[in-house]
Amino acid sequence: MSQFVKAVLFDLDGTLIDTAADFVRIIRNMSDENGWQAPPEADIRAQVSAGASAMVQLMLRHNEQATFSEAELLEFRQQFLDDYEAEICVDSCVFFALEEVLKTLEAKRVPWGIVTNKPRYLAEQLLSKMELEERCAALVCPDDVARSKPDPEPMYMALEKLGIPRGAAGSVLYVGDHIRDIQAGNAAGMPTILAAYGYIPPEYQKSFKKWGANYIVETPEQLNTLLLSSGKFDYL
């Protein structure tokens, strides 16, 4: 028997939108400016979901001869954020096969939204550049809540924005690529889908199947099939 779904929520970076190329470019530029060798692209991608500080620390650790104070770390982090804001959507794109998912949900009048740990000022600019801001029915960022994922508070706020009571959380799917995504969705009572094609850090590569997701997809195409073609879900 298929499950009835009222809405679908996505994490942003590494789940709905492939933003890694822009982060790789910025880290490479910062490394060049300082005469350093940039970390491998795969290593940068694996740290995207961990945020700006993690990517900057990766860059600094890769330069094994240097030591840095906390103030210098913060300065590099701010430069990273400033550079990203200035060129926030050069190479980013919706993951292949997920644009079809969004269009199909919209055609069925099923709202979709985003619950992310990306700061609102960056998330809004990214969605605007990609012409997704009007299509996204709910955007919840760390700025909006007292406790970010893995706490369920952002998930509850998304339900409120969608006009769906907490008691109906089981009819809202949440898709994410990080353990905190699965923890937050599960805590809110939402069926969860792990996007294993996303930015999963190396330390989690052998354990992500134990995170407790209801479903695991290895590619965006598999997510497309699960949401649209498998017969597991019925929509409004």
Q: What is the pLDDT of residues 7-40, one digit of tens each?
A: 999 999 999 999 999 999 999 999 999 999 999 9
Burial-class residue 62 by CB neighbours within 10 Å (0-12, 13-18, 19+). middle
pLDDT class for 103, splitting at 50, 70, 90? Answer: very high
Mean pLDDT of all residues in 153-166: 98
Q: Provide DSSP, 56-87.
A: HHHHHHHSTT----HHHHHHHHHHHHHHHHHT
11 is catalytic: yes
**Model pLDDT, residue 68:** 75
Domains and CATH numbers, the chain: 3-19+92-235 (3.40.50.1000), 20-86 (no CATH)
Q: Which of 37-51, 139-153, 172-186, 218-232 is predicted least confidently?
A: 37-51
Neighbour tally for 66: CB within 10 Å: 11
Q: Is the pLDDT of residue 169 over 70?
A: yes
pLDDT class for 202, splitting at 50, 70, 90? Answer: confident
Question: Which pairing describes strands 93-94 and 17-18: parallel, antiparallel, or unpaired?
Answer: antiparallel
**Model pLDDT, residue 66:** 59
Q: What is the pLDDT of residues 40-70, one digit of tens each?
A: 999 999 999 888 999 999 999 888 755 778 8
Q: Is the pLDDT of residue 73 over 80?
A: yes
Tokens of 154: 């952002």
Chain CA centroid to CA 152, Å: 16
Cα separation, 216 vs 114, in Å, equals 19
**Considering 11, 22, 43, 83, which one is annotated as catalytic?**
11
Predicted TM-score (pTM) of this structure? 0.94
Bridge partner residues of 88 (DSSP): none
pLDDT class for 1, splitting at 50, 70, 90? Answer: low
**Model pLDDT, residue 2:** 87
Neighbour tally for 13: CB within 10 Å: 25
**Model pLDDT, residue 70:** 85
82 is catalytic: no
**Model pLDDT, residue 207:** 93
Q: Which residue has the tokens 């052998």?
A: 206
Tokens of 236: 């409004």
**Model pLDDT, residue 221:** 97
pLDDT class for 201, splitting at 50, 70, 90? Answer: confident
Q: Which residue has the tokens 């009222």?
A: 6
**Model pLDDT, residue 223:** 98
Mean pLDDT of all residues in 167-173: 98
Mean pLDDT of all residues in 97-119: 97
**Model pLDDT, residue 203:** 84
**Model pLDDT, residue 113:** 98
Report which residue type is found at 99: E
Cα separation, 184 vs 178, in Å, equals 10
